[in-house]
Amino acid sequence: MPFIMNAWYVAAWPREVEAGKILARTICNEPMVLFRDEAGTAVALEDRCCHREMPLAMGWIEGGTVRCSYHGLRFDGRGKCVEIPGQPNVPPRARVRAFPLVERYGWLWVWPGDAAKADPASIPAIFQRMDHPDWTACGGTTYVKCHYQLISDNLLDLTHETYIHRSSLGNQAVVEHPIATKSDADKVVVQRLIPDHEPAPFWKANLFRKLGKHVNADRWQIIHFEPPANLVLDVGVTPAGRPRGEGVEGCNTNAITPETEDSTWYFWGFARKFSRDDAALSDKLVETIAKIFEEDRAACEAVHAVMKRNPGRKVVDVNADQGTILARRMVTGRIEAEAAAAARAAE
């Protein structure tokens, strides 16, 4: 299946794009190089020189420009060739594609489609808690060898926590409580409420950290999906029967970026309202969540491998798949709309 191209995708954490260095990354089958220009602003170019198509990732940075390592052509952050060794003139056609790139909500977002349609205002606002004064955020990246929609599927159906994450996030209470699903033209929301139960290990430990005692809890999972593959999970626990503010409130952010049809850059974060000034806790959360997502990675890669052996084979849907079905239908609609618009433009 092709990708939605006219959309913002997370390309990197800002810390990954260091001054004087090149970061190579493929987004939706588009090889790119990310670097910082002379002003320190992150930019993205296609990963090829327009002369003999040498990958620019094999070059180096000079004064905020990238130098091709083959014949020495040099390109600025707009993709314009600013130097051709051995000749004084640079023809106007000597340039490479520059991709719109915006830093927002703690990530660098790239637009692989029609640059004229790239409106930064359309970067999903559901991620704003990754860079918000009332929340403390941390996170990481997991590289997954699977189709990106399998990760969306995984996050839209948290029933798997009882089984895949039974030592951390899951317990029997998760599967014993049904989901409620709703959607409109732009989003899908899946909610599961789990009242008065012994919390799963991850939440039990964090609730004890705040209260200094173990108690039964009310738990909430509210999953927000926006295409192509942006998901934010409002999650947490609070002492049974008490307001959420008395417990531990978290926000799991998931920006899922296709590399190819068979590989994905999975950028994830966790923003919290509890123990906000505890840097050691942030480090511990990143370590813990990374291990949890390694379990997801193994599951998604295993599913992808089986699906590749038998493309198009029918599967059975169950009640918990409501969110997944709606999200996939929404993505398919966007892809078809892009294809139809391109066909009309070509007429």
Whether residues 86 and 51 share a domain: the answer is yes
Whether residues 268 and 287 share a domain: the answer is yes
Q: Tell me which of 97, 117, 137 is where a domain ends.
A: 117
Percent of the chain with pLDDT over 70: 100
Whether residues 139 and 97 share a domain: the answer is no
DSSP 187: -
- CA dihedral 328→127→250→198, nearest 10 degrees, is 0
- Amino acid at the residue 285: L
Residue 150 lies in a domain: yes
Percent of the chain with pLDDT over 90: 95
**Is the predicted pLDDT of residue 10 greater than 90, yes or no?**
yes
Predicted confidence band at 1 (pLDDT cuts at 50, 70, 90)? low
- CATH number for the domain including 20? 2.102.10.10
Q: Which tens digit of pLDDT belongs to each residue from 326-335?
A: 999 999 999 9
Query: How much is the pLDDT for 215?
Result: 97
Residue 59 lies in a domain: yes
Q: Tell me which of 88, 117, 146 is where a domain ends.
A: 117
Domain range holding 82?
9-117
Number of structural domains (the chain) is 2
Is residue 168 within 8 A of residue 292, CB to CB? The reply is yes
Residue 86 lies in a domain: yes
Residue 260 lies in a domain: yes
| Distance separating alpha carbons of residues 270 and 272, to the nearest angstrom | 7
Q: Which tens digit of pLDDT belongs to each residue from 276-304?
A: 999 999 999 999 999 999 999 999 999 99
Token look-up 């205002």 returns: 121
- CATH number for the domain including 168? 3.90.380.10
Is residue 221 within 8 A of residue 191, CB to CB? The reply is yes
Whether residues 159 and 204 share a domain: the answer is yes
* Mean pLDDT computed over 123-150: 97
Q: Which tens digit of pLDDT belongs to each residue from 220-267?
A: 999 999 999 999 999 999 999 999 999 999 999 999 999 999 999 999
Whether residues 23 and 142 share a domain: the answer is no
- CA dihedral 234→236→240→242, nearest 10 degrees, is -70
Query: How much is the pLDDT for 170?
Result: 85
**To which H or E segment does residue 153 belong?**
helix 148-156
Whether residues 242 and 103 share a domain: the answer is no
Whether residues 245 and 137 share a domain: the answer is yes
- Amino acid at the residue 322: Q
Whether residues 320 and 175 share a domain: the answer is yes
- DSSP for 91-134 reads -TT-B--EE-EEEETTEEEE--S-GGG--GGGS-GGGGGGG-TT
CA 239 to chain centroid, in Å, comes to 31
Residue 278 lies in a domain: yes
Q: To the nearest whole number, what is the mean pLDDT of the chain?
A: 96
Whether residues 130 and 254 share a domain: the answer is yes
Residue 345 lies in a domain: no
| Distance separating alpha carbons of residues 84 and 92, to the nearest angstrom | 12
Residue 347 lies in a domain: no
Predicted confidence band at 346 (pLDDT cuts at 50, 70, 90)? confident
Is residue 177 within 8 A of residue 158, CB to CB? The reply is no
* Mean pLDDT computed over 113-140: 96
Whether residues 65 and 89 share a domain: the answer is yes
| Distance separating alpha carbons of residues 313 and 190, to the nearest angstrom | 26
| Distance separating alpha carbons of residues 300 and 308, to the nearest angstrom | 12
Q: Tell me which of 63, 92, 117 is where a domain ends.
A: 117
| Distance separating alpha carbons of residues 131 and 145, to the nearest angstrom | 29
Whether residues 47 and 109 share a domain: the answer is yes
Predicted confidence band at 196 (pLDDT cuts at 50, 70, 90)? very high
Residue 84 lies in a domain: yes
Whether residues 104 and 204 share a domain: the answer is no
Is residue 224 within 8 A of residue 234, CB to CB? The reply is yes
Query: How much is the pLDDT for 347?
Result: 83
